[in-house]
């Protein structure tokens, strides 16, 4: 069975985000093996310097690299990525499955972004929107789109 991993920087605390994520996680398991890996976001002062931000991103990159599944198709969610429709994302994941890969991993970075070396390692950079969203809401939105993608591939009526 195909495996999808979502790596997310930061921990969810609010019950409504936890509840929404749990619902989509439960739904995803009907289509694939699914797991979420939460990694700690490094704390920075209120007005961090560029050097402090870069140091934190490098420490986060080390954690991400350690948890990244081996031989997986890797997608980083980032504003400079390519925007896809739900159908196009479903088609992309379908092509990944047909290519012989048995897993995909999606990454939501921290509030200060993602280290360049992680973006360079990605197979694909995906943008959710030109708008800015809180990372906790972005997690729910990514989970919904991954679920929608799997349901499109399965021919479910959810997408209609």
3-state SS of the chain is CCEEEEEEECCCCCHHHHHHHHHHHHHHCCCCEEEEEEECCCCCCCCCCHHHHHHHHHHHHHHHHHHCCCCCEEEEEEEEEEECCHHHHHHHHHHHHHCCCCEEEEEECECCECCHHHHHHCCEEEECCCCCCCHHHHHHHHHHHHHHHHHHHHCCHHHC
Place of tokens 């140091």: 55
- Tens of pLDDT, residue by residue over 2-60, are 999 999 999 999 999 999 999 999 999 999 999 999 999 998 989 999 999 999 999 99
Q: How many whole angstroms separate alpha carbon 108 and alpha carbon 127?
A: 11
| pLDDT value, residue 160 | 65
| pLDDT value, residue 8 | 96
**What is the bridge-based pairing of β-strands 103-108 and 33-39?**
unpaired
Q: Tell me which residue range forms the domain holding 80.
A: 3-159
pTM for the structure as a whole: 0.95
Average pLDDT over residues 102-123: 96
For residue 142, pLDDT beyond 90 = yes
- Tens of pLDDT, residue by residue over 70-111, are 999 999 999 999 999 999 999 999 999 999 999 999 999 998
Q: How many domains does the chain have?
A: 1
Average pLDDT over residues 134-157: 94
| pLDDT value, residue 140 | 97
Nearest CA among 63, 76, 64 for reference residue 123: 76
Residue 12, domain CATH: 3.40.1280.10
For residue 135, pLDDT beyond 90 = no
Average pLDDT over residues 141-159: 93
């Amino acid at each position: 069975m195909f495996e999808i991993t979502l790596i997310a920087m930061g921990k969810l605390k609010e019950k409504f985000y936890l509840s929404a994520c749990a619902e989509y996680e439960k739904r995803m398991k009907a289509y694939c093996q699914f797991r979420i890996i939460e990694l700690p976001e490094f704390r920075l002062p209120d007005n961090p310097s560029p050097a402090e931000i870069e140091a934190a991103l490098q420490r986060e990159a080390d954690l991400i690299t350690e948890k990244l599944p081996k031989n997986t198709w890797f997608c980083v969610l980032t504003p400079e990525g390519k925007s896809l429709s739900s159908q196009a994302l479903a088609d992309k994941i379908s092509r990944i499955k047909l290519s012989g890969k048995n897993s995909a991993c999606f990454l939501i970075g921290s509030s200060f972004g993602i280290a360049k070396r992680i973006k360079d390692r990605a197979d694909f950079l995906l943008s959710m929107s030109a708008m800015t969203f809180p990372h906790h809401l972005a997690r729910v939105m990514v989970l919904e789109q991954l679920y929608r993608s799997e349901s499109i591939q399965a021919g479910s009526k959810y997408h209609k």
